[in-house]
Every structure is written in structure tokens, then in C-alpha cells.
Amino acid sequence: MKFFIDTANLEQIKEAQALGILDGVTTNPSLMAKEGITGEVNIINHYKAICELVDGDVSAEVIATDFDGMVKEGEALAALNPQIVVKLPMIKDGVKACKYFSSKGIKTNVTLVFSAGQALLAAKAGATYVSPFIGRLDDISTDGMNLIEEIRLIYDNYGFETEILAASVRHTMHIINCAKLGADVMTGPLSAIEGLLKHPLTDSGLAKFLADYQKGN
Ligand code: E4P
């Protein structure tokens, strides 16, 4: 299972990278704005900075919502660095753009996916990644995990190579459940990733080992 961090915060990206378990980064316009990164030039420079910090794939989202605009923006983003994955919204022109990029060998991430039908279309269009937003489904009292399960079944039925990138992960249990259901990738905040580290028996066990060592020395 690949671990992506879902942030545009360079410090958090560095911290996750230093842990040695990071496989990539996802961003979106809201995450960029949260870090105060605005304007085309700053955004482009920020993507470049992120690519320098990590080895893996970095999703960069297009702003255009029409086919020609998405192609123009996506090609410019992809030219920045081979690590860039063009992130496209799950709308009609997004599907067309996905097909365009996949036929040119440019990596894509189809985002804002909330149903199995949308995920099926993304796979048909040759998406590298499909991003079902599990946390946002949970937010409206719909079990996000069911969607991961459905997509896994459909993709396995037909051998689709599109990777299921569980997005909108909010906490540690989301990661565990995604792993159980066979999501290929998860993207979440640093807090959810670091949450995997924690267990009170680890802490108390380590404290006892250290105390016992001190007694003998
Ligand atoms: C996915 O790529 C999105 O950036 C992200 O996971 C959305 O998460 P949110 O629902 O917590 O905003």
C-alpha cells in the first residue's frame, strides 16, 4: 500500500519524508490556499519545491473545467517534473482529458469521485489513480468504506490497472480499513499517518524496559 501525504505544507511533507515511508503527495486548490500559495507563478514554484522534497508522485490539480483548458494546464504541469500527476475533476471534460493524457503516457489522478460508476469511467479513461473521497462521504452519513469495497470488486473483475487512491482520509482507522479492503494508495494528513505509530502498550512496555535496564546498571 502506498502512503501519500495530503498537504501543501512543506514542513509536514519533509517530516513524512524523513519517516521513510512516504510514496507521494496530493494537493488541491484548497490545500494550496491554506498555505497562502496563490497566483499561477507561486503555485507552479510550490509544485517544483514539493517535487524536490519527495521521490514519488505529486498530484497537481487543474483549475480549468473545459477540455481545452484542462489539456493546456495539464500539459504545462506535467512538463514541470516527471513526478507530476495531472489531477482532473470527475466531470465530462475531465474524463475526456483523462483519456487524452493517458493515451500520451501522462499520469492522471481523477478526483472528486463519490460513486462506483464514476470510478468505472475513470478506469475506462485510463486514469493512473482514482480518488474516492471517503471522509466527505462519512461527513454526509454515507459509509466511505463501502465505496472502496465496490471499486476494488469492479476493478478486480476486469483487471483495471487504475490504482485506488483512498482520499479524504481523516484518521488512522480510515487507513487501516482501506488497507483491509485493498486500496492501493491512501492519502491523508500527517496526523493520521503518525497515529499508526501509537499504542499505549508500546509506551508502557518501553518505559519498563528502560527502567529495568537502569536497575541493572
Ligand atoms: C484528495 O486528493 C484531496 O486532496 C483530499 O483528500 C480531500 O480531503 P478533505 O475531504 O479532507 O478535504
Three-state DSSP string of the chain: CEEEEECCCHHHHHHHHHHCCCCEEECCHHHHHHCCCCCHHHHHHHHHHHHHHCCCEEEEECCCCCHHHHHHHHHHHHHHCCCEEEEEECCHHHHHHHHHHHHCCCCEEEEEECCHHHHHHHHHCCCCEEEEEHHHHHHCCCCHHHHHHHHHHHHHHHCCCCEEEEECCCCHHHHHHHHHHCCCEEEECHHHHHHCCCCHHHHHHHHHHHHHHHHCC
Going by alpha carbons, the residue nearest to atom 7 of ligand 1 is 168
Q: What is the pLDDT of residue 83?
A: 98
Instruction: Give tens-digit pLDDT for 2-41.
Output: 999 999 999 999 999 999 999 999 999 999 999 999 999 9
Tell me how far the alpha carbon of residue 192 lies from the centroid of ligand 1, in angstroms.
Answer: 13
Any atom of ligand 1 within 6 Å of the Cβ of 108: no
Instruction: Give tens-digit pLDDT for 86-132.
Output: 999 999 999 999 999 999 999 999 999 999 999 999 999 999 999 99
Instruction: Give tens-digit pLDDT for 175-213.
Output: 999 999 999 999 999 999 999 999 999 999 999 999 999
Q: For residue 217, what pLDDT band results from cuts at 50, 70 and 90?
A: confident
Going by alpha carbons, the residue nearest to atom 12 of ligand 1 is 168
For the entire predicted model, the pTM comes to 0.96
Instruction: Give tens-digit pLDDT for 43-61.
Output: 999 999 999 999 999 999 9
